């Protein structure tokens, strides 16, 4: 799933001869330096294998550092320029480019909003509210996957309750005149600016915590400050015993802000124009349905690469707290000042198509989750599932078994669920029609990101399952799009 994968890069490889290496595996290149002996022993077992891969990579360290530094320096101003273009330049990239060409760096400084007291208050109140809900709302106890060092994280599944409480509270504050959500839109640039800097400080604190007070043995340093800061030090950082930081940044701050801002844009258009256009309604409804699906499935998300594989660093946490609120909500941000009247018939067509894509995406996840839950003893499309029994050896030397589903949605392509995910994002962007390119930036970004993710996941599974993954790929030939790719 792409939810928090805001930006990725891959390592350049020599054609036809060098094996692949996943982005997170770069973390483990070199000697692991950790105060936790168990973590050291587990990761050092993989060190020699990674070094073998490393010898076949062409100039990867230079490419890696250049990529990380590029993202560090370009992503923060991109967030501000995206907001500025959508809110003040009619969504025209050429107008913004012309302005920057004339004014240079000083132009960027001039349009960059200064974080204000009201922006900080909005962020603090929102973050404190979501943290309180995460801690206090009741929820079922859910166990995550066993980590490489043998830890099994425990969560409280109260995301759906937090989602409904958040939206109900937000709408009630508006309805009873206590707080006007239009204020959030009016100060959006200041909020994004505060998030850019505040989230950077947050990531620095996470880096320090990983060195000084890691929450578990799933932590450690590769000995390189830049890589440690970018990828993170800890897999499961927590404050105390119960407050999981990645659940907060990824789910309760990032994904929840997507829903809150979608509603905010809708209310702002209503207060400005006295009505909500059908294009804004279609956009808001589809995004809220998608986010509702996410929180309904949140416990399943805790088994994905975002939580169980990628560490808590700039890549994950800054992305969730800044990139998601800005980039993921950008189609609605554009529609605030550019309402489009689709007409009832076209609006219904887009809604139905969007609903169908979101449902198929959900059913893909449900099908695989049910297959895993029942250990393959279930029905897939009305018959017994086709599967491959794959054995693999863990980093601690233990032999385990996994079942690879090769029928149903998962028989069409190894990552077919990305197809309805990309199409769903297209259908909540297309209400803007085609007078501007920028409302479709998220769709393009998501497509590139998921293709890269599919490649990384294939590399990881090939390394994990070996001959069984080769057999699986022979049976399920296509990576994402059946018959094409």
Any idea where the domains of the chain sit in the sequence?
Answer: 24-340
Task: Judge whether 443 and 421 are in contact, CB under 8 Å.
Answer: no
* 11 Cβ contact partners less than 8 Å away, ≥ 6 residues apart: 21, 23, 26, 57, 60, 63, 64
| Joined tokens for residue 200 | 């950077």
Alpha helices per DSSP H over 390-440:
409-412, 418-429
Name the region of 205 (left: φ>0; alpha: ψ -120 to 50; beta: rest). alpha
* b/e burial code for range 269-291 (CB count within 10 A of at least 16 → b): bbeeeeebbbbbbbbbbbbbbbb
pLDDT of residue 11: 35
pLDDT of residue 60: 56
d(CA 485, CA 467): 22
Task: Judge whether 403 and 485 are in contact, CB under 8 Å.
Answer: no
d(CA 302, CA 309): 10
* 24 Cβ contact partners less than 8 Å away, ≥ 6 residues apart: 231, 305, 309, 310, 311
* 239 Cβ contact partners less than 8 Å away, ≥ 6 residues apart: 245
SS3 state of residue 141: strand
DSSP run (H or E) holding 98 = helix 93-111
Residues of the chain predicted below pLDDT 50: 1-59
- Could you tell me the pTM of the whole model? 0.85
Alpha helices per DSSP H over 213-255:
225-231, 245-246
SS3 state of residue 366: helix
Task: Judge whether 357 and 290 are in contact, CB under 8 Å.
Answer: no
**CA dist 249 → 296, 312, 317 (Å):** 18, 9, 6
- Length of the chain as a residue count: 485
- State whether the Cα torsion 250-254-260-262 is positive or negative: negative
User: How far does Cα 385 stand from its chain's mean position?
Assistant: 30
| pLDDT single digits (tens) 113-142 | 999 999 999 999 999 999 999 999 999 999
- State whether the Cα torsion 113-114-120-123 is positive or negative: positive
- β partners of residue 400: 392
Task: Judge whether 75 and 323 are in contact, CB under 8 Å.
Answer: yes
pLDDT of residue 61: 64
């Amino acid at each position: 799933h792409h939810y928090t994968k805001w930006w990725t890069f891959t390592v350049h490889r020599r054609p036809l001869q060098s094996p692949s290496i996943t982005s997170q595996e770069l973390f483990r290149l070199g000697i692991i330096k950790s105060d936790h002996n168990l973590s050291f022993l587990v990761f050092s077992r993989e060190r020699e294998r990674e070094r073998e891969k490393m010898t076949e990579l062409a100039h990867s360290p230079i490419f890696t550092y250049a990529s990380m530094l590029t993202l560090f320096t370009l992503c923060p101003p991109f967030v501000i320029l995206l907001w500025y273009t959508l809110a003040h330049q009619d969504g025209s990239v050429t107008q913004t480019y012309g302005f920057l060409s004339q004014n240079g760096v000083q132009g960027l400084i001039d349009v960059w909003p200064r974080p204000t007291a009201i922006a900080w208050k909005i962020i603090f109140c929102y973050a404190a509210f979501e943290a309180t809900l995460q801690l206090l709302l009741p929820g079922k106890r859910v166990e995550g996957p066993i980590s490489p060092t043998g830890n099994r994280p425990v969560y409280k599944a109260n995301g759906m309750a937090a989602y409904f409480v958040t939206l109900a509270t937000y709408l009630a504050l508006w309805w009873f005149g206590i707080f006007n959500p239009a204020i959030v839109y009016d100060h959006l640039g200041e909020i994004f600016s505060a998030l850019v800097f505040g989230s950077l400080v947050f990531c620095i604190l996470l880096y320090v915590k990983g060195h000084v007070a890691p929450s578990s043995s799933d932590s450690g340093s590769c000995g390189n400050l830049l890589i440690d800061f970018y990828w993170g030090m800890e897999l499961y950082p927590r404050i105390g015993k119960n407050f999981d930081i990645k659940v907060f940044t990824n789910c309760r701050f990032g994904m929840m802000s997507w829903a809150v801002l979608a509603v905010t844009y809708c209310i702002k258009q209503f207060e400005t124009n006295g009505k909500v256009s059908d294009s804004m309604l279609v956009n808001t409804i589809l995004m809220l349905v998608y986010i509702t699906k996410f929180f309904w499935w949140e416990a399943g998300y805790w088994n994905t690469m975002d939580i169980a594989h990628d560490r808590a660093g700039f890549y994950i946490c800054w992305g969730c707290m800044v990139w998601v609120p800005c980039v993921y909500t950008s189609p609605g941000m554009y529609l605030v000042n550019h309402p489009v009247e689709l007409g009832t018939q076209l609006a219904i067509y887009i809604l139905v198509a969007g609903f169908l894509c979101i449902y198929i995406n959900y059913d893909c996840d449900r099908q695989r989750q049910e297959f895993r839950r029942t250990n393959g003893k279930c029905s897939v499309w009305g018959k017994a599932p086709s599967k491959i029994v794959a054995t693999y050896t863990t980093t601690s030397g233990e032999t385990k078994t996994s079942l690879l589903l090769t029928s149903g949605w998962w028989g069409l392509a190894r990552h077919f669920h990305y197809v309805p995910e990309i199409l769903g994002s297209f259908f909540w962007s297309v209400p803007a029609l085609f007078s501007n390119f920028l409302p479709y930036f998220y769709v393009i970004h998501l497509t590139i990101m998921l293709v890269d993710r599919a490649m990384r996941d294939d590399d990881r599974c090939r390394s994990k399952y070996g001959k069984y993954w080769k057999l699986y790929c022979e049976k399920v030939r296509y990576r994402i799009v059946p018959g094409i790719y």
